[in-house]
């Protein structure tokens, strides 16, 4: 029997599609260094883990569809500390940032409507758009310019009667790009002038380096009716398995619509919300220590990439990813070859081909996304293996 067009049109995740090859290598005793996925190795805070260990309710019951009141109240304080001023009713807790993004798309768009998004972008936006029946229209950016946004006119010429929103990720996954306040103000003004929502993915808010600052869409004036934040605890607290996020807007009509979607799926996970709530009060010392660690890891990866002839990349300013253009033709073939064929002291490296982070066909074919989430020793080994693997691959690929 035929499957739906929805699932037939969905791409396989470039982050996870090579997992079977990695598993096969591991089954043969090969050590695989994972640079393909943003799963931090930093320990989840003990404050969060203690909630799991000490949870003693006799019945694990449904919670409110919009999330636990105590957690939403705590989030109001968290966002206030980040210069984002919202009320409890402006927040709906979601089952991770993934659900927040899907809700944002479904609440703002009808089937076949369009959302503008700078590419390369987080690959699962494609999947969420398929679920919502939305078309992503790419705003092209380039490795050579550090994935900077194009001029305003280049963005506005993409707007059609079907365009309903602009979506940005700041700091950016997969590029590590941090948009300036002027960038965010420009996007907000395009939204105001053209009656478009602005969906801002701010999952990596804290991870900004070199003295830069991340600007939230809700720090901009006169955006109450168009601004939507989607957020997640996954990276902030190294808690990817907790699956807690949220969607935020001061637009009451919009949030009423989102609440209908939230009610249809009943409620977000109760224990995980309690665990996330325990982390809200973690201070600057916690975040700064993690940020310093990622900054060091970023420097290692960037410096090692600079030592490889023919690589094109710009030093990322935030998040914990870098997109690099490699001196090869097909990054997917290279990624698979590394897992199936290449061994360096019985070790190899797994990368994410970047073509899956684009909506434009046949773009990014020679690019990879690397996640610098390994400890320093492992990261240096992984980069040495990547370099030697590239040298070997170029000889066999001729």
Q: Are residues 38 and 127 in the same domain?
A: no
Average of per-residue pLDDT values in the chain: 96
CATH number of the structural domain spanning residue 166: 3.40.640.10
Residue 141 token pair: 């950016």
Would the pLDDT of 200 be above 80? yes
Q: What is the domain range of residue 325?
A: 5-43+284-396
DSSP 250-265: S-HHHHHHHHHHHHHT
* pLDDT tens-place string over residues 139-155: 999 999 999 999 999 99
Would the pLDDT of 216 be above 80? yes
* pLDDT tens-place string over residues 26-58: 999 999 999 999 888 999 999 999 999 999 999
Q: Are residues 60 and 123 in the same domain?
A: yes
End-to-end CA, the chain = 42
Q: Are residues 123 and 142 in the same domain?
A: yes
Question: How would residue 220 be classed by pLDDT, with cut points 50, 70 and 90?
Answer: very high
Question: 171 φ, ψ to 5°?
Answer: -60, 160
Q: Are residues 243 and 152 in the same domain?
A: yes
CATH number of the structural domain spanning residue 291: 3.90.1150.10
Would the pLDDT of 13 be above 80? no
**What is the pLDDT, as a whole number, of residue 78?**
97
Domain count, the chain: 2
Q: Which of 232, 165, 155 is nearest to 196 (CA)?
A: 165
Q: Are residues 319 and 201 in the same domain?
A: no
Q: Are residues 230 and 292 in the same domain?
A: no
Q: Are residues 31 and 121 in the same domain?
A: no
Last residue in a domain, options 277, 310, 343: 277
Last residue in a domain, options 277, 311, 345: 277
Distance, CA of 254 to CA of 224 (rounded, Å): 11
- SS3 per residue for 23-51: HHHHHCCCEEEECCCCCCCCCCCHHHHHH
Q: What is the pTM of this model?
A: 0.96
Indicate the angle between helix axes 331-340 and 19-27, nearest 10 degrees. 20
Distance, CA of 51 to CA of 58 (rounded, Å): 15
**What is the pLDDT, as a whole number, of residue 121?**
97
Q: Are residues 107 and 187 in the same domain?
A: yes
**What is the pLDDT, as a whole number, of residue 179?**
98
Last residue in a domain, options 228, 261, 277: 277
Q: Are residues 237 and 294 in the same domain?
A: no
* pLDDT tens-place string over residues 152-180: 999 999 999 999 999 999 999 999 999 99
Question: How would residue 280 be classed by pLDDT, with cut points 50, 70 and 90?
Answer: very high
Q: Are residues 171 and 240 in the same domain?
A: yes
Is the dihedral angle over the CA atoms 63, 64, 65, 70 positive or is it negative?
A: negative
Distance, CA of 166 to CA of 314 (rounded, Å): 25
Element (H, E) at 354: none
Cβ-based neighbour number of residue 375 at 10 Å: 11
Q: Are residues 138 and 100 in the same domain?
A: yes
Nearest 10 degrees: Cα torsion 247, 251, 256, 257: -70
Would the pLDDT of 192 be above 90? yes
Bridge partner list, 315: none
Give the Å distances, CA to CA, from 288 to 236, 262, 282, 376. 11, 34, 11, 18
**What is the pLDDT, as a whole number, of residue 17?**
82
Q: Are residues 389 and 372 in the same domain?
A: yes
**What is the pLDDT, as a whole number, of residue 245?**
98
Would the pLDDT of 352 be above 80? yes
- Which residues have C-beta within 8 Å of that of residue 104, sequence separation ≥ 6? 165, 197, 199, 228, 230, 247, 258
Per the document, the length of the chain is 398
């Amino acid at each position: 029997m035929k499957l739906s067009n929805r699932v037939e049109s969905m791409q396989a995740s470039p982050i996870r599609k090579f997992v079977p090859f990695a598993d096969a290598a591991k089954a043969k005793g090969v050590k695989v260094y994972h640079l393909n996925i943003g799963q931090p190795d930093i320990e989840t805070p003990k404050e969060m883990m203690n909630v799991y260990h000490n949870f003693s309710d006799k019945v694990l019951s449904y919670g409110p569809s919009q999330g636990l009141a105590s957690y939403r109240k705590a989030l109001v304080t968290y966002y206030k500390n980040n210069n984002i001023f919202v009320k409890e009713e402006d927040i709906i807790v979601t089952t991770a940032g993934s659900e927040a993004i899907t809700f944002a798309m479904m609440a703002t768009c009808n089937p076949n409507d369009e959302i503008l998004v700078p590419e390369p972008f987080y690959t699962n936006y494609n999947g969420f758009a398929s679920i919502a029946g939305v078309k992503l229209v790419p705003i092209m950016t380039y490795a050579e310019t550090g994935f900077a946004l194009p001029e305003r006119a280049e963005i506005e010429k993409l707007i059609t009667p079907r365009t309903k929103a602009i979506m940005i990720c700041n700091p950016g996954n997969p590029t590590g790009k941090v948009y300036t306040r002027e960038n965010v103000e420009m996007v907000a003004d395009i939204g105001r002038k053209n009656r478009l929502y602005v969906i801002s993915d701010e999952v990596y808010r804290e991870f900004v380096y070199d003295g830069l600052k991340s600007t939230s869409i809700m720090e901009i004036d006169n955006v109450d009716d168009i601004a939507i934040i989607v957020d997640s605890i996954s990276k902030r607290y190294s808690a990817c398995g907790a699956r807690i996020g949220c969607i935020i807007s001061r637009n009451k009509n919009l949030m009423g619509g989102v609440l209908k979607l939230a009610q249809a799926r009943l409620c977000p996970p109760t224990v995980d919300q309690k665990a996330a709530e325990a982390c809200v009060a973690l201070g600057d010392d916690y975040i700064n220590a993690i940020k310093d660690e990622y900054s060091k890891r970023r420097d290692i990866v960037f410096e090692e990439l600079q030592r490889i002839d023919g690589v094109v990349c710009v030093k990322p300013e935030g998040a914990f990813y870098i997109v690099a253009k490699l001196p090869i033709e097909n990054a997917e073939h290279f990624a698979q070859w590394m897992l199936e064929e290449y061994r360096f002291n019985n070790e190899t490296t797994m990368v994410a081909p970047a073509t899956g982070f684009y909506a434009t066909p046949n773009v990014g074919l020679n690019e990879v996304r690397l996640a610098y989430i390994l400890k320093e020793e492992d990261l240096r080994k992984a980069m040495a293996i990547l370099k030697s693997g590239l040298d070997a691959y170029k000889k066999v690929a001729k």
